[in-house]
């Protein structure tokens, strides 16, 4: 048998010979399939390529729109993006349909007849803006700007700065609602309590092991394509090992090495039991031990490592795998196995999303998951769970002398709803308006938001929006006629995202900020106008000019002001290239360890808080004097976190984990004095879900999810996407179905304390027993013909494909069933807690 060395000797001998040349292959001059170009299949001509940015979901990927004959014909990935690396998901590609939806609103429309009756007339922009400006000016001049409530769903980066900070700031209302509490606000609060500014990036480029609690990140994620393609690559090319805990076999669970079915709302129990295994088996030693220096696990932040370990072991001692097995249904040995693998494979990343956190106990589930990362040293490290890095744009701030803004106290729910709703409670806003005790807006305007459809308790949303005694005047800013627009008094036709300007800043998985712009790929159709431009004009009409006339001017000025972009060529560079990142920037890891210079500690107003070891600048807080600041201390001075400078740990002063929204110290706080002050357990603790505890025999838990080709509520008008996904039967386990005499395809009734809906059963073992899983996206009753089979007022018939729409089933909407109930700590809408009965019709 010839050995390898003998073969290689042959290679060594031939090195001196000129082996026959000729050959067949040559190095390619350019890599094929680089992207960024497209050709007409009819004429063969290259299509105009316009760098822009997606807006289908919050990921906002850099994109390229391809234009042929003045028409947008295709959207593709941006090859120069370090976030997407040229990838683009189906939702992004389907964006073409947003522009040319035949049911799009192209003119300002004013209600005639009763609200919600569906009778409209076209009016001019001048008439529309005269009416809006007249009403807003009167409120402001009467001293009640807060009675103008502005409520947005998706508003980010330059749109947020222009509309919220500059326009609404100059106007003087802070009655500004968002939608974060129906999204993942609870996750953010838990992160603010632990490591400060919210958002976790998962470094799949370097991770070797992933534990996933309830994230379907291959299909839906707030940073979807940048995250999903990296995870897929790591799984395929690097044999990354991944274990997913989920009630449902999502495609992410299916692509994991292992799907571990788990009872709904019990992820926190498993996370705590994993922490128990890691601490009791001393698997925290090494990286975890080193990281614990930067953590707070005890009331006294200066505790020694031994003290921290002792407290943690004691706290976790009752959270055994056997205890967690009883609660979660996950085998105790499996919990041990995953805990050991997670703790001993370096680096490892623990990930989580709504499956784990949109529950009554979601806040502490996320805190327990943060603890899991902390005790294994997988925080802010290559391959771990990292604090997010995004672009930092400069922008024109508008008039210097802004009024002291006023607000109606209707953004954070009723007293007692939630202790720390740091991202507010948008799902409680309409209830607050209905209640009326905290006041009601006279003008309620919503932008890129679907208050009727996106929240729970749909019927109540409809009832409140319809009632003129509760909301005297309503304005909807929207390119489309959805369920909420149908209830407005005035509709301002917004430009789609492919017809407008923005600068963008979404988180980069590379830990290096990516700067990018959105520019119009085509001109707005009809009389549609970007609402940013509309705000500029409204401001002029109200005698409060903003210092720029259009969003384009705002973006141009931002480009000239932002370091790096300016030197690269400013606005013109961004128009041509779409994206920019600093080629010299290094990925941001371990920034909490950075030493802080004495100069910063000696700056005017900076004082040391002895109790926590925090250096902070009291000028930036609400304290009136240094004495007051010192006396109240960092923890109890309002807005003290805004003045955070550094954290003293032992003899060193480091950057630490900078707080946001709450006065936590610069430690990664797993022991939260803030939680303790509010009457909750300071260390992450498992609490069961009251509704689940009180379930009667035969009842099921409703769980909801998203699929890869739709966004939550604003993509069902896209025909390419809705052709793929338009029907959403309820997934039900064969055992659960059999007990109710339900067979696959049967019509079923799903009834909750709030409402009931009818759908069909999909009997499948891909969901745990005791649960019914119904996806979002479907069941529209407006939003045009592709979404609902219903033509919008003033819709056109110029889309020949309307005749080719073959599907009749538009699916069902689970939100009718879901109460607008909050997590008692952070206020997050508890999307996954609803108890229902399911019967065959």
Partner 1 sequence: MNGTAKSILARDPGFPAATRERSNVYGFLASVFREEATADLLDQIEEPEFRSALSGAGVSFGIDFFDRPRQRLLEELAVEYAWLFIGPGDHVAPFASVYLGGAGGALWGPSTVWVRTFIATAGFEYRPEFHGLPDHVGVEFEFMQHMTSRQASAAERSDGVAQADCRRVEEEFVSDHLARWLPEFCRRTMERATLPFYRELAGLAAGFMRSESEFLAATPAAAC
Give the CA distances from residue 749 to residues 385, 704, 742, 761, in Å, rounded to whole numbers and listed in that order.
41, 16, 11, 9
Q: To the nearest whole angstrom, how small is the minimum distance from the Cβ of residue 286 to partner 1?
A: 17
Give the CA distances from residue 385 to residues 187, 189, 347, 389, 660, in Å, rounded to whole numbers and listed in that order.
14, 17, 10, 12, 18
Which 8-state DSSP code applies to residue 164? I
| Contact mark string toward partner 1, 159..198, x via CB under 8 A | ----------------------------------------
Q: To the nearest whole angstrom, how small is the minimum distance from the Cβ of residue 233 to partner 1?
A: 11
Q: To the nearest whole angstrom, how small is the minimum distance from the Cβ of residue 774 to partner 1?
A: 40
Counting residues that bind partner 1 (by CB under 8 A) gives: 31
Q: Which is nearer to partner 1, 240 or 487 (CB)?
A: 240
Strand pairing partners for 775? 705
Q: To the nearest whole angstrom, how small is the minimum distance from the Cβ of residue 1 to partner 1?
A: 8
Q: Helix 267-280 crosses helix 305-316 at what angle (to 10 degrees)?
A: 130
Give the integer Cα–Cα distance in Å for 780 and 815.
11
Q: To the nearest whole angstrom, how small is the minimum distance from the Cβ of residue 13 to partner 1?
A: 4
Q: Which is nearer to partner 1, 9 or 71 (CB)?
A: 9
| Contact mark string toward partner 1, 7..26, x via CB under 8 A | xxxxxxxxxxxxxx-xxxxx
Q: To the nearest whole angstrom, how small is the minimum distance from the Cβ of residue 203 to partner 1?
A: 15
Q: To the nearest whole angstrom, how small is the minimum distance from the Cβ of residue 30 to partner 1?
A: 9
696-710 burial string, b = 16+ CB within 10 Å, else e?
Answer: eeebbbbbbbbbbbb
Cα dihedral 327→329→334→336 (10° resolution): 10
Give the integer Cα–Cα distance in Å for 170 and 288.
48
Residues 204-243 binding partner 1 (CB under 8 A) are 237-238
Residues 501-530 binding partner 1 (CB under 8 A) are none
Q: To the nearest whole angstrom, how small is the minimum distance from the Cβ of residue 407 to partner 1?
A: 52
Length of the chain: 841
Q: Which is nearer to partner 1, 30 or 693 (CB)?
A: 30
| Residue 232 burial (C-beta neighbours within 10 Å; 0-12, 13-18, 19+) | middle
Q: Which is nearer to partner 1, 233 or 313 (CB)?
A: 233
**Which range touches partner 1 (CB under 8 A), out of 5-13, 153-161, 460-468, 624-632?**
5-13
Q: Helix 332-344 crosses helix 267-280 at what angle (to 10 degrees)?
A: 60
Determine if 694 is a binding residue for partner 1 (CB under 8 A).
Answer: no
Q: Which is nearer to partner 1, 14 or 639 (CB)?
A: 14
Give the integer Cα–Cα distance in Å for 798 and 785.
13
Determine if 583 is a binding residue for partner 1 (CB under 8 A).
Answer: no
Find, among 386, 387, 396, 660, the residue nearest to 503 by Cα. Answer: 396
Residue 548 has a CB neighbour count (10 Å cut-off) of 21
- Cβ contact 209:348 at 8 Å: yes
Q: Which is nearer to partner 1, 28 or 694 (CB)?
A: 28
Find, among 210, 261, 214, the residue nearest to 232 by Cα. Answer: 210
Q: Which is nearer to partner 1, 20 or 598 (CB)?
A: 20
Q: Which is nearer to partner 1, 331 or 341 (CB)?
A: 341
Determine if 31 is a binding residue for partner 1 (CB under 8 A).
Answer: yes
Q: To the nearest whole angstrom, how small is the minimum distance from the Cβ of residue 208 to partner 1?
A: 10
Q: To the nearest whole angstrom, how small is the minimum distance from the Cβ of residue 16 to partner 1?
A: 7
Q: Which is nearer to partner 1, 8 or 290 (CB)?
A: 8
Give the integer Cα–Cα distance in Å for 716 and 779.
10
Give the angle 27-32-37 at the CA atoms, nearest 5°.
140
Q: Which is nearer to partner 1, 20 or 694 (CB)?
A: 20
Q: Which is nearer to partner 1, 9 or 326 (CB)?
A: 9
Q: Does an H or E element contain 73, and which?
A: strand 71-77
- Cβ contact 693:832 at 8 Å: no
Q: To the nearest whole angstrom, how small is the minimum distance from the Cβ of residue 185 to partner 1?
A: 39
Binding interface with partner 1 (CB under 8 A): 2-4, 6-20, 22-29, 31-33, 237-238
């Amino acid at each position: 048998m010839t050995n390898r060395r003998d073969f290689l000797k042959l290679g060594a001998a031939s090195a001196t010979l000129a082996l026959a040349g000729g050959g067949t292959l040559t190095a390619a001059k350019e890599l094929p399939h680089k992207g960024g170009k497209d050709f007409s299949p009819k004429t063969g001509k290259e299509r105009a390529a316009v760098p822009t940015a997606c807006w289908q979901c919050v990921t906002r990927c850099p994109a390229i729109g391809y234009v042929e004959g003045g028409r947008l014909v295709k959207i593709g990935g941006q090859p120069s993006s370090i976030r997407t690396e040229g990838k683009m998901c189906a939702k992004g590609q389907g964006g073409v349909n947003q522009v040319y939806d035949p049911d799009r609103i192209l003119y300002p429309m004013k209600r005639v007849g009763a609200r919600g009756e569906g009778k409209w007339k076209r009016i001019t922009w001048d008439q529309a803006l005269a009416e809006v400006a007249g009403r807003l000016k009167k409120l402001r001049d009467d001293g009640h700007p807060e009675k103008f409530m502005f409520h947005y769903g998706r508003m980010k980066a330059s749109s947020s700065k222009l509309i919220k900070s500059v326009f609404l700031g100059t106007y003087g209302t802070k009655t500004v609602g968002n939608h974060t509490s129906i999204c993942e606000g609870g996750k953010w609060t838990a992160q603010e309590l632990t490591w400060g500014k919210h958002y976790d990036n998962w470094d799949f480029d370097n991770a070797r092991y992933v534990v996933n609690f309830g994230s379907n990140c291959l299909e839906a994620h707030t940073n979807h394509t940048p995250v999903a393609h990296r995870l897929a690559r790591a799984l395929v090319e690097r044999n990354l090992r991944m274990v997913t805990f989920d009630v449902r076999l999502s495609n992410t669970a299916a692509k994991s090495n292992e799907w571990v079915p788990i009872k709904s709302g019990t992820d926190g129990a498993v996370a705590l039991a994993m922490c128990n295994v890691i601490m009791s088996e001393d698997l925290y030693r090494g990286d975890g031990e080193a990281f614990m220096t930067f953590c707070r696990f005890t009331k006294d932040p200066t505790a020694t490592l031994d003290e921290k370990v002792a407290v943690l072991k004691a706290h976790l001692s009752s959270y055994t795998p056997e205890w967690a097995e009883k609660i979660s249904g996950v085998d105790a040995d499996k919990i041990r196995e995953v805990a050991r693998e997670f703790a001993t494979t370096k680096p490892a990343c623990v990930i989580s999303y709504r499956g784990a956190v949109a529950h009554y106990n979601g806040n502490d589930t996320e805190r327990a998951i943060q603890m899991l990362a902390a005790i294994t040293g997988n925080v802010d490290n290559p391959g771990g769970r990292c604090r997010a890095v995004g672009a930092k744009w400069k922008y024109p701030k508008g008039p210097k002398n802004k009024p002291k803004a006023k607000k109606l106290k209707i953004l954070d729910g009723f007293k007692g709803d939630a202790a720390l709703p740091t991202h507010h409670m948008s799902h409680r806003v309409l209830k607050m308006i209905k209640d009326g005790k905290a006041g009601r807006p006279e003008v309620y305007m919503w932008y890129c938001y679907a208050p009727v459809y996106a929240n729970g308790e749909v019927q109540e949303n409809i009832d409140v929006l319809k009632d003129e005694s509760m909301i005297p005047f309503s304005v909807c800013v929207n390119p489309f006629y959805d369920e909420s627009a149908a209830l407005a008094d005035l509709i301002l036709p917004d430009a789609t995202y492919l017809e407008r300007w923005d600068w963008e800043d979404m988180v980069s998985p590379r830990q290096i900020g990516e700067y990018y712009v959105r520019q119009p790929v085509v001109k707005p159709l009809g009389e549609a106008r970007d609402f940013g431009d509309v705000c500029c004009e409204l401001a002029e009409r109200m005698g409060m000019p903003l210092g720029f006339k259009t969003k384009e001017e705002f973006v141009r000025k931002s480009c000239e002001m932002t370091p790096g972009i300016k030197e690269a060529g400013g606005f013109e560079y961004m128009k041509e290239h779409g994206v920019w990142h600093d080629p010299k920037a290094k990925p941001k890891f371990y920034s909490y360890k950075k030493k802080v210079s004495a100069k910063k500690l000696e700056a005017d107003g900076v004082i040391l808080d002895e109790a926590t070891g925090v250096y902070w600048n009291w000028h930036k807080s609400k304290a009136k004097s240094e004495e007051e600041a010192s006396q109240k201390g960092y923890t109890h001075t309002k807005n003290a976190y805004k003045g955070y400078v550094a954290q003293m740990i032992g003899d060193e002063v480091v950057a630490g984990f900078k707080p946001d929204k709450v006065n936590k110290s610069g430690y990664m706080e797993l022991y939260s004095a803030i939680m303790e002050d509010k009457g909750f357990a300071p260390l992450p603790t498992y609490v069961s879900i009251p509704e689940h505890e009180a379930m009667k025999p035969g009842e099921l838990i409703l769980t909801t999810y998203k699929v890869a080709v739709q966004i939550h509520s604003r993509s069902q008008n896209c025909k390419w996407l809705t052709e793929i996904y338009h029907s959403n039967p309820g997934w039900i386990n064969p055992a659960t179905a059999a007990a109710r005499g339900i067979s696959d395809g049967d019509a079923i009734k799903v009834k909750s304390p709030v409402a009931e809906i009818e759908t069909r059963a999909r009997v499948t073992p891909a969901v745990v027993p005791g649960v019914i899983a119904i996806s979002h996206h479907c069941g529209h009753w407006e939003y045009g013909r592709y979404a609902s089979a219903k033509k919008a007022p003033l819709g056109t018939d110029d889309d020949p494909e309307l005749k080719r729409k073959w599907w009749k089933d538009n699916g069902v909407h689970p939100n009718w069933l879901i109460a607008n109930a909050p997590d008692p700590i952070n206020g997050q809408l508890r999307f996954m807690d609803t108890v229902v009965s399911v019967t065959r019709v």
